Homo-oligomer: A and B are copies of this chain.
Amino acid sequence: MGTVGTGVAKLLLDHGDRTARHAGRTLWLKKAVVRDLSKPRDVELPDDVVTDSIDDVINDPEITVVAQLIGGLEPARSIMLQLMEAGKDIVTANKALLAQHGAELFTRARELGRTIAFEASVAGGIPIITNISQCLSANQIQSLEGILNGTSNFIVSQMDEKGASYEDVVREAQRLGYAEADPAMDVDGTDAAQKLAILAHLAFGASVDWSDIPCDGIDGLDPADLIYASKLGYRIKLLAVATLAEDGLELSVGPTLVKIGTPLAEVRDAYNAIRVIGDAVGPVFYHGLGAGQMPTASAVTADIIDTAVGRTRLTFETLEYFCVDQPPRVKLRDADTLIGRYYFRLPVSNHPGTLAAITGAFAEDGISIASVIQHESGDDSPSDQPVQLVVMTHEATEGAARSATTKIEKLASVTGPVVRFRVKG
């Protein structure tokens, strides 16, 4: 009965006609388990519904579906196992748990003849799980590009629109309830990487540990980069990308320059969006609220309905998601071989030969430069004040870009760490 659980209770209690029509039967909210019975809740629950004992659920044979909406790994994992052992089918929104323990939980569900539905675990209200698992099932998905963390997108959009600093916007996001008291997992890319790991499993059959996905967050993003990007015709977005190539799957999460005017660049505020390319269907673009009480409850409740109708069981039995006996259908590409265009920003001292040294370092790694912006320091600033050099490259491998970064950071004329982002579109 946290944020999402309360939303689900509202839908089940206030809109029984609607859920009954779609489920072909009335869905009864029999129990709501809380830790603290005295804590006020945002929805009025019938008297005998609230309990602080999970045993009231486990021992009630009339309860067949449980929406398990505790966050984090424990006790969420143990409770889910307990519930499945008691014969309950599970609906969950917990991507951290699935990204970490998906194989264990799905294997146990299969052994026990139970199901796990998890639409709400990725992109909140956007039904991307069902779309990939069912609607686009005639396709080989070729790529996925997603803005999967609403908090990060809110922060970046606000920095962009208001020219505000990262710290100021985070405080504002916390005030508005978009960011949690500790938004670390949102802003460092962890949440997006966990969601990408789930999507990559569904779309490509990849079995990937989310912590193996090359991942940068937007924490500490410098407003200067948003301004340079916009001068170049781009916005910076925290993009989660999965691309299938001949030699494997490329996965990455990081701040990325996205061409202004393309759909992903126009995703504002706490919205999420996903662009999927299938070999038959072509590009399909989804945009909606990736978090929040009611959008997430919409996804959880759709899963409860699907479980009641029996569709979840058919899908679960047909698709071998998180099945340890199944070898992964695709392997990850060596990150060093990934090809992309790059944005570099370097603080440099404005001395003769600086540009030559830097362009030389790029050339040494075979990286060709597409454009350079040198931000002039004002007339009255001393010539030893660092200036910002922005370099856009043509296509290069990640390995070459990393090697060039290391070389450049060692140059005497480069006065601080190099900022490097990928460029799309």
**Structural contact, A131 and B135, CB atoms closer than 8 A:** yes
Q: Which of A246-279 contact B (CB under 8 A)?
A: 261, 263, 266, 278-279
A126: chain B residues at CB < 8 Å are 284
A309: chain B residues at CB < 8 Å are 314-315, 318
Q: Which of A88-137 contact B (CB under 8 A)?
A: 119, 125-127, 130-131, 134-137
A289 to B280, CA, bound (A): 10
Q: How far, in Å, is A294 (CB) from chain B's closest CB?
A: 4
Q: How many copies make up the complex? A: 2
- A285-296: CB near B (< 8 Å → 1, else 0) gives 111110010110
The residue on B at minimum CB distance from A282 is: B289
Q: How far, in Å, is A125 (CB) from chain B's closest CB?
A: 4
Q: Which of B19, B282, B287 contacts A294 (CB 8 A)?
A: B282
A310 to B306, CA, bound (A): 13
The interface size of chain A toward B, counting residues with CB under 8 Å, comes to: 55
Among the stretches A152-160, A192-200, A297-305, A371-379, the one at the interface with B is A297-305
Flag whether A224 is at the interface (Cβ < 8 A). Answer: no
**Structural contact, B134 and A298, CB atoms closer than 8 A:** no
Q: Which of B261, B280, B283, B295 contacts A281 (CB 8 A)?
A: B295
Task: Supply 8 further A-B pairs (C-beta < 8 A) apart from A280-B295, A314-B314.
Answer: A22-B137, A22-B318, A24-B318, A125-B282, A130-B134, A137-B301, A285-B287, A287-B287
Closest 9 CB pairs of A and B: A127-B135, A138-B301, A24-B318, A22-B137, A280-B298, A281-B298, A284-B288, A125-B281, A285-B287
What are 27 contact pairs spanning A and B, CB under 8 A?
Answer: A7-B280, A11-B138, A15-B138, A18-B138, A18-B139, A19-B138, A21-B319, A24-B319, A119-B135, A127-B131, A130-B130, A136-B298, A137-B301, A138-B302, A138-B305, A261-B266, A263-B287, A280-B294, A280-B297, A282-B292, A282-B294, A284-B286, A285-B286, A285-B287, A285-B288, A287-B287, A314-B314
